[in-house]
Amino acid sequence: MNMIAVFQKRSRKKISPVERAGMALVSLICILAGTFTILPFLYVIAGSFATEKELVERSFFIIPHTFSMNAYKYIIADGGIFRGLGNSFFIMIVGTFINMLFTTTLAYPLSKSWLRGRNLVLNIIIVTMLFSGGMIPNYLVVKNLHLLDTYMALILPGAVSAFNLIIIKNFFQELPRELEEAARIDGCTDVGIFVKVVLPLSKPALASVGLFYAVSHWNDFFNSLIYLNSTGKFPVQIILRQIVLLAQGASADGSAVDFGTGGVPPEQAVKMAATVAATIPILCVYPFVQKYFEQGVMVGAVKG
């Protein structure tokens, strides 16, 4: 009996009650985990539309009794949030492109076992995962390179992540060498093999690592606070922080703007609206890369 017949026989085997119970239990656990994961975010969205009275009286809710747009009117009143969103998208797109360019071009040669000095370079890279130069040395390097108050100060110091580099290097190592040899026989250079063969076959790894880089740039707050001085260059994270601080001060002295729809926006609602404004844009990126996470990269690549 060949292996195909054995597999078909096993596939026709009936599932026992114990196995059904186990599958049901696993499904129930996954459903509960997903529910408990999404509920806090739903509460934040609902709270951003709630009134101050409802936020005080109700400890948790998904749908507010009275919808109020005061918090969103407050955070977009001066238009700074739109400028911050534009700056954040620019930093994320340019930063991710530079990250992926440097990471892939470094990971590809390091994936070759015959490369001289490969282990030394890998050990140096791994050391950077364990030890950091520190905040002050990093600041001095950025200052001496005349990168202060520029977007490159947020991009170049972290152009290559050691963790992401190792992920892509290991992925490159798993690609069949026959594909590269066939491309070389057809006259492809090393650059051509990298661009036309390796990168197209590495879409799942590139999409995952690219998403890691993009989220890191989008959520970057501390580096922006340290290196940027011009208000017009602030990303959305800094703008939202300023808005929340102004809302706190306004709530304390009662000088907040009344939008005519229920009074001044509550401080908690402003924080929730700021959270939604900072989260929704990056969530829109996930549907475009989700399909690569579980995609089989080598299906049909090598035959015969």
Question: Which among 283, 248, 240 has a CA at the least distance from the CA of 265?
Answer: 248
DSSP letters for 13-43: SPPPHHHHHHHHHHHHHHHHHHHHHHHHHHH
User: Do the domain assignments include residue 9?
Assistant: no
Per-residue pLDDT reduced to its tens digit, 94-134: 999 999 999 999 999 999 888 888 999 999 998 988 888 88
Q: Are residues 153 and 56 located together in one domain of the fold?
A: no
Q: Are residues 105 and 202 located together in one domain of the fold?
A: yes
Cα 223–chain centre separation = 17
User: Do the domain assignments include residue 29?
Assistant: yes
What CA–CA distance (Å, rounded) separates 87 from 232? 9
Per-residue pLDDT reduced to its tens digit, 41-52: 899 999 989 888
The domain tally of the chain equals 2
CB 165 within 8 A of CB 124: no
Q: Are residues 216 and 139 located together in one domain of the fold?
A: yes
Q: Are residues 218 and 87 located together in one domain of the fold?
A: yes
Per-residue pLDDT reduced to its tens digit, 155-176: 999 899 999 999 999 999 988 8
In angstroms, what CA-CA distances link 269 with 54, 128, 221, 252?
10, 41, 21, 15
Predicted local distance difference test score (pLDDT) of residue 208: 86
What CA–CA distance (Å, rounded) separates 264 from 254? 8
CATH code, domain with 104: 1.10.3720.10
Instruction: Write out the residue range of the structural domain in which residue 125 sits.
Output: 80-230
User: Do the domain assignments include residue 303?
Assistant: no
pTM: 0.80
Q: Are residues 91 and 223 located together in one domain of the fold?
A: yes
